[in-house]
Structure 1
Amino acid sequence: MSNIFRLRLSLDFLAICLVIACLAYWWLDNLSHELFGTALFTLVILHNVFNRRWYGTASKGRRDAARIFNILTVICLAMAMLIMLVTSLLISRDVFHFMSLDGAFAIREIHMFAGYWLLLIIAVHLGTRWTVVMNVFRGTLGLQGRSLFRTALARGLAFAIAGWGVQSSFQMAFGSKLMLTYTLDMWDFAESTSGFFLNYASIVGLYASITHYGLIGVRSRRLAREGELSSLRPAIVEGSKISQRQ
């Protein structure tokens, strides 16, 4: 893997960190929140520039379930980012205050709720790319070939993070926030700032793991079905020849 590709991947993970940081609004002052958001959209633009070739190939190739799911995820991600961009401009108080609207309470609510959905969609998108991430990780560490120990260790770590993510989802009331339900929970940043970030990071890991292993299951079933059809094809051809002779 080239250093440029590693840099691109590092910027993508930085974008995820910025999304979580933006969710910690009550930990930041408004100016810092808007600066983080501006940096996030800058990274999104760079991400699309780096991956511009994907848009030309998205409509080509085999349209299996995994590929269709990937395309839908990218579409949902683009829609979420567009909503975040428009609403952030309309409620800005510092960086883009000249574009803001007065008394835009409903827009603030949409912006807040869309932020949680954005985190979820990013986690799913990360899950669709997790094989690439792991290949870069192995290449960076110089790990060659396959290892049962490394595989077991990686899966055990993924299971642990996913379990932590389930617990964090309840602790952070993540499901309620996705359903646009008001919650009375307020994270005490004076008590633990790192806990906020680690909890949301584990939630990202949870949904990325679900997506990754779910797609592996879909591909395995497809390959098994294709294998069954391949084994049946000679018998079908032979049967067709016999019918023609008769």
Structure 2
Amino acid sequence: MKPKMILKLSIDFVMTVLLLVQMAFQVTGQEAHEWTGAGMFVLFLIHNILNINWYKNLLKGTYTAIRTFQTIINLLVLVTVIALAISGIIMSEYAFGFLSIKGGMAFARLLHLSAAYWAFVLMSMHLGLHWGMVITMFQKPMKRTPILTLPALVPMCIAIAIAVYGAWNFYKMNILSYMFLRSQFVFFDFEKNAFAVFAENTAMMGLWICAAYYAAKFLKKIHTTKKSIEAIEEKPK
């Protein structure tokens, strides 16, 4: 594996961990939340610099359904992260407290609340769009097994269980109400232990990873089928 790819994967892994840390405010507290958020934003900038060619090619080539889906998710991630950075800096008491920003606190709080949960969902989906690469990395050292065998069914059942648990927590915590600001205050259970908090957030991340991964597979399948039909129709009779 090339050094640049190793660097990219390392940054993506650290960002994934930091995303889970960011969503565990009741465990980390305000100061750690701010510093890990600042660190994550720096890594996000490096991630985008390393993938600058993606931006250069935005207006090039044909937009298939899967490419359109990926582009929308990526651009929305960019928008939400910028919104988080701006609102986070305005509200900061520690990492950017030296700026002594006084105005716009009410707006920044609402923006940060909504953008945080949108970013969590969208970044999880972004990870899901590249999950095939992760699966391939783990499959390379071992032989590919048929789908209907125990070695293949076990990880599939685990993934389904995680997604179902994630969906339950997403509903139970009423995350949609925060995303659309139907509820403007988040209830944090500070008595819940750290393991439970991270388990719930990891499961919710798994839910959106699965959703994006299988949505992408479905769109690719449609595209492949369409190309096959067009190829048959173009054959001389």
Same fold (TM over 0.5): yes
Instruction: Give the 5 Å matches for 1:1-246.
Output: 1-2=1-2, 4-102=4-102, 104-139=105-140, 142-148=141-147, 149=149, 150-182=151-183, 186-234=187-235, 237-238=236-237
CA 1:183/1:112 → structure 2, altered by over 3 Å: closer, same or farther?
closer
Aligned-partner Cα distance in 1 for 2:55–2:84: 22
CA 1:10/1:152 → structure 2, altered by over 3 Å: closer, same or farther?
farther
Partner of 1:244: none
Cα pair 2:66 2:220 within 8 Å, conserved: yes
The one of the two structures with greater contact order (alpha-carbon pairs below 8 A, sep at least 6) is: 2
Cα pair 1:91 1:100 within 8 Å, conserved: no
CA 1:144/1:49 → structure 2, altered by over 3 Å: closer, same or farther?
farther
Partner of 1:243: none
Aligned-pair identity in percent equals: 23
Cα pair 2:91 2:108 within 8 Å, conserved: yes
Q: Normalising by structure 2, what TM-score?
A: 0.88
Displacement of 1:35 in angstroms is 0.7
Aligned-partner Cα distance in 2 for 1:55–1:185: 35
Deviations 1:98-128 (A, max 9, x none): 3343261221121122111100110111111
Cα pair 2:110 2:184 within 8 Å, conserved: no
Aligned-partner Cα distance in 2 for 1:198–1:99: 36
Cα pair 1:22 1:33 within 8 Å, conserved: yes
Structure 2: segments with no counterpart, 5+ residues: none
> Which amino acid counterpart does residue 5 of structure 2 have in structure 1?
F
Displacement of 1:207 in angstroms is 1.1
Cα pair 1:70 1:128 within 8 Å, conserved: yes
Cα pair 2:125 2:209 within 8 Å, conserved: yes
Aligned-partner Cα distance in 1 for 2:3–2:195: 30
Aligned-partner Cα distance in 2 for 1:184–1:112: 8
> Which amino acid counterpart does residue 21 of structure 2 have in structure 1?
A
Structure 1: segments with no counterpart, 5+ residues: 239-246
> Which amino acid counterpart does residue 44 of structure 1 have in structure 2?
F
Deviations 1:204-232 (A, max 9, x none): 11111111111211221222222223223
Cα pair 1:15 1:40 within 8 Å, conserved: yes
Aligned-partner Cα distance in 2 for 1:147–1:10: 30
2:182 aligns to what SS in structure 1? coil
Deviations 1:35-89 (A, max 9, x none): 1111111111221122222222333333100001111111111111111111111
RMSD of aligned alpha carbons: 2.2
* Aligned pairs, number: 234
Aligned-partner Cα distance in 2 for 1:186–1:192: 15
Deviations 1:116-163 (A, max 9, x none): 110011011111111112223334xx2244543444333322211111
Displacement of 1:194 in angstroms is 1.3
